[in-house]
């Protein structure tokens, strides 16, 4: 019942805050509050972010000799590492790639990725259109499906000569990682999927969590009022109402995203259907499912678990859709049982 009540709340908030209903005074007040939130969040982030040594693109070329040789022969796309703002850290030999979810960037892994640096070579990046990526590389037609984002993951992997890497994907990047693993066999030896959903829209015999009408209303709200959508939806997606700083950070992350890219990526994310891709996963897979998640409920996680041949699922005590921020210690502990 709690999930249903929350979804009704989402729809009510949409009706109250769509582009036509919101007053100019309310809009101005929202803008002021969001500006204040951004300022507070920036200070908070600066006080919490760890700063391990960064590996520059130039040093990466020397570190990954095979990648440099491929580039010299014209077999690797130039600028891939710069395009996706790739950062490599860690002292280990085996690579571990972290991929962020919708409306976020690699900064969302700052409480999780450092824990694996002593034993792994961590790879973080921003999807094109997010964070520090090259926005000029974004093309709406190219990125009209998750397959294009998976192609980028493969290009990054080839640029770094990755083999037998662990892929860690949050939310929509869980499906992007599945597609990438099938496009480049051998690149990823294990998959860790956090809050995955193969399809958000209900279908005959399938529960995705939302009706087609609900998803369309969410997308229409976003298209009409990006800032309002961000301010209203982020707290519901994050959950943990007793920790408002988490919702504030997600709101700010949504608001920083280019509005046109945010709208396009949201439609790709929430209308994709990757159910048929699950059976083709050959890598051992760990699914991390939050105990309460309005975006990807446990029934959705159960479906992913049942349909990936060699997978197992851990249900976290964490609530909300972003345990990498709300419960990083629990996420780290669960990952360590698998890697």
**Which residues are catalytic, by number?**
171, 293, 321
CB atoms within 10 A of CB 291: 13
CB atoms within 10 A of CB 149: 24
Helix, strand, coil % in the chain, rounded to nearest 5: 55, 15, 30
Based on the number of CB atoms within 10 Å of its own CB, is 292 exposed (0-12), middle (13-18) or buried (19 or more)? middle
End-to-end CA distance of the chain: 36
| Dihedral angle computed from the Cα positions of residues 156, 158, 162 and 164, in that order, rounded to the nearest 10 degrees | 110
Strand order in the sheet with 87-89: 87-89, 120-124, 94-99, 165-170, 188-194, 285-292, 311-319
CA 335 – CA 284 distance, rounded (Å): 13
| Helix ranges restricted to H, 126-243 | 146-159, 172-183, 212-224, 226-238
């Amino acid at each position: 019942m709690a999930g249903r009540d929350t979804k009704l709340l989402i729809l009510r908030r949409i009706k109250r805050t769509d582009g036509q209903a919101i007053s100019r005074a309310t809009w101005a007040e929202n803008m002021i509050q969001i500006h204040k939130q951004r300022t507070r969040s920036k200070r908070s982030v600066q006080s919490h972010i760890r700063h391990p040594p960064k590996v520059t693109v130039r040093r990466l070329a020397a570190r990954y000799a095979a990648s440099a040789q491929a580039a010299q022969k014209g077999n690797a796309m130039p600028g891939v590492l710069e395009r996706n703002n790739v950062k490599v850290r860690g002292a280990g030999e085996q690579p571990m790639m972290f991929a962020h979810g919708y409306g976020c960037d690699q900064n969302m892994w700052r409480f999780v990725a450092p824990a694996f640096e002593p034993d792994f070579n961590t790879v973080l990046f921003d999807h094109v259109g997010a964070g520090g990526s090259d926005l000029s590389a974004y093309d709406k037609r190219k990125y009209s499906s998750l397959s294009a984002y998976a192609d980028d993951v493969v290009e990054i992997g080839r640029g770094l000569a990755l083999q037998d890497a662990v892929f860690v994907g949050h939310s929509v990047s869980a499906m992007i990682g599945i597609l990438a693993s099938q496009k480049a066999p051998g690149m990823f030896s294990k998959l860790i999927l956090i809050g995955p959903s193969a399809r958000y829209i209900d279908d005959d015999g399938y529960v995705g969590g939302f009706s087609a009408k609900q998803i369309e209303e969410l997308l229409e709200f976003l298209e009409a009022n990006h800032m309002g959508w961000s301010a209203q939806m982020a707290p519901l997606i994050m959950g943990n109402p007793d920790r408002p700083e988490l919702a504030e950070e997600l709101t700010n992350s949504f608001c920083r995203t280019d509005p046109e890219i945010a709208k396009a990526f949201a439609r790709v994310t929430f209308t994709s259907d990757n159910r048929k891709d699950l059976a083709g996963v050959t890598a051992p897979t760990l699914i991390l499912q939050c105990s309460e998640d309005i975006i990807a409920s446990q029934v959705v996680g159960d479906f992913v678990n049942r349909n990936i041949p060699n997978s197992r699922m851990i249900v976290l005590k964490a609530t909300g859709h972003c345990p990498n921020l709300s419960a990083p210690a629990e996420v780290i502990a669960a990952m360590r049982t698998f890697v």
